[in-house]
Structures are given as C-alpha cells and as structure tokens.
C-alpha cells in the first residue's frame, strides 16, 4: 500500500471512531481530499485507493489537473472565489464551499442562469471575525438570508467555516459547535433544509465530526506536508 492509500485508510478509521463516539453513521461524513499543491499523479493514487471527493482552492491549478484525471472524481471548490473566476468554476466543480458575500451569491446566481446550471453551494462564515479571512459575519448572514433564499439557481446546502488556527484541536470545538448552532437556528427559524456543515481539516477533523461536520476537508494528512 502506498502512503496515500495508507493515510486514507487511517483517516477513515478515525472518522469511523469519531462517528461512533457521538452516535453518528460514517456514511453521513464525506472526506474531501484537498489536493492543492500536489500533482495529478498523487491525486491518482488517492483515486486508485477509492477516494472520489477532492478539493482545490485555485481555479488555475484545478484546470491543469482535471483533464489528467478520471471523470469520476467530484471536485469541490474550497478557496476564495473571485468574480472573474465564477464562469469557469461553475462547470468544473460539483460544489462550491466558499460563497462569502451576498454580492458573490447574486453574481453566481446570474452566471448559473446563463450557463443553465443549478450549483450546490455552502455559505462561508467568518465566525471569529478574522480580518485575514473571507466569509459572512453572523449578522451579515442573518441580514442577507431572505435575499439568499430568493436566488433561484443556487441550492444552498449548508455552512462552511475555517476557524482560527490552533495548536490543540479541542480549541476548535467551540467554533464548530457555533457553526452547527447557527445552522440549526437558521434552518429552524426559516424552515429551510440546510443539511451540510463543511468544517474540519487535518488537525481537527475528529472534533469537527463530533460537533456535526458532514464534509471534512483534509489535505496534509492525506498527501503529506505542503
């Protein structure tokens, strides 16, 4: 077994154990292998080991890898999305995790209509209000909610967050719990299904799963250090 296959097997074990601790089914959690900076042949090793969901955060890098790899891969766009990239991102990616403003959502909706697409998107939330990170604040999200729901081409599947970097995964737990609480609250108040939570990376995915993550985005634990 190569490193990538062994790493994936190990991560699946940890995902299973985390699910078991909180009474969830492993099938509720999608592992997205984040392939940024790693060449197509490493991605293929993951594919050969059964991995199907992969994440990239730059369009250009994805554009160079996608044609070299099996069409059965599902690509997730997880990086900051610039307006001028939307038209190219929409047809290539199965899901966008990083819709970070009402303006971007409205623009993506327009482009999706022109292209005849119904993209599945997450709204990215900047829970800690970090200057360096994109995302809706909780107040912005609440203020934008009705307008977001009126966007007829976007299927808003859930919320995504990248919490402040920490040494101890336990310190991420309050942020993950907060994203879940926000999702539960919005879904309940506005009677909208909002099934997914995209949260958790190499250092803290087990904690994220304990707090309800449905999509974990894992790079270095699969492919090694960048």
Ligand X SMILES: *Cc1c(COP(=O)(O)O)cnc(C)c1O
| Count of Cβ atoms closer than 10 Å to residue 136 Cβ | 25
Residue 15 interacts with ligand X (CB under 6 A)?
no
For residues 82 and 147, which CB has a smaller minimum distance to ligand X in the complex? 82
Binding residues among 128-187 for ligand X as defined by CB under 6 A: 162
51-70 footprint of ligand X as x/- string (CB under 6 A) = ------x-------------
Rule CB under 6 A: say whether 36 interacts with ligand X: yes
CB of 15 to ligand X, least distance (A): 14
Per rule CB under 6 A, is residue 46 in the interface with ligand X? Answer: no
35 contacts ligand X (rule: CB under 6 A): no
Alpha carbons 55 and 58: distance in angstroms, whole number: 10
Residue span 89-108 as binding mask against ligand X, x where in contact by CB under 6 A, dash where not: --------------------
Single out the residue of 8, 11, 5 nearest to residue 208, CA to CA.
Answer: 11
Give the phi and the psi of residue 135 in degrees, each rounded to 5. Answer: 135, 160
The span from the CA of 192 to the CA of 168, in Å, is: 34
Task: Give the contacts of 155 (CB within 8 A, at least 6 positions apart).
Answer: 118, 119, 120, 121
Least CB distance to ligand X at residue 127 (A): 14
218 near 11, Cβ under 8 Å?
A: yes
Binding residues vs ligand X (CB under 6 A): 34, 36, 57, 78-79, 162, 201-202, 217-221
């Amino acid at each position: 077994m190569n490193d990538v296959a062994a790493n994936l097997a190990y991560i699946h074990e940890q995902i299973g154990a985390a699910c078991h601790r909180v009474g969830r089914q492993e099938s509720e959690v999608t592992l997205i292998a984040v392939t940024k900076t790693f060449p197509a042949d490493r991605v293929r090793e993951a594919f050969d080991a059964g991995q199907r969901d992969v994440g990239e955060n730059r369009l250009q890098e994805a554009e160079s890898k996608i044609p070299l790899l099996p069409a059965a891969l599902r690509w997730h766009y997880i990086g900051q999305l610039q307006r001028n990239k939307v038209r190219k991102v929409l047809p290539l990616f199965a899901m966008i995790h990083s819709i970070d403003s009402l303006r971007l959502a409205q623009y993506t909706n327009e482009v999706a209509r022109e292209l005849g697409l119904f993209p599945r998107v997450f709204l990215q939330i900047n829970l800690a209000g970090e200057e360096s990170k994109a995302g809706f604040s909780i107040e912005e999200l609440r203020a934008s909610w009705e307008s977001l729901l009126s966007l007829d081409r976007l299927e808003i599947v859930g919320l995504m967050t990248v919490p402040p970097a920490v040494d101890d995964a336990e310190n991420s737990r309050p942020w993950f719990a907060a994203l879940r609480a926000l999702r539960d609250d919005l879904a309940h108040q506005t009677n909208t299904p909002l099934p997914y939570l995209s949260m958790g990376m190499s250092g803290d995915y087990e904690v994220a799963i304990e707090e309800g993550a449905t999509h974990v985005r894992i790079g270095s634990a699969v492919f090694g250090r960048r």
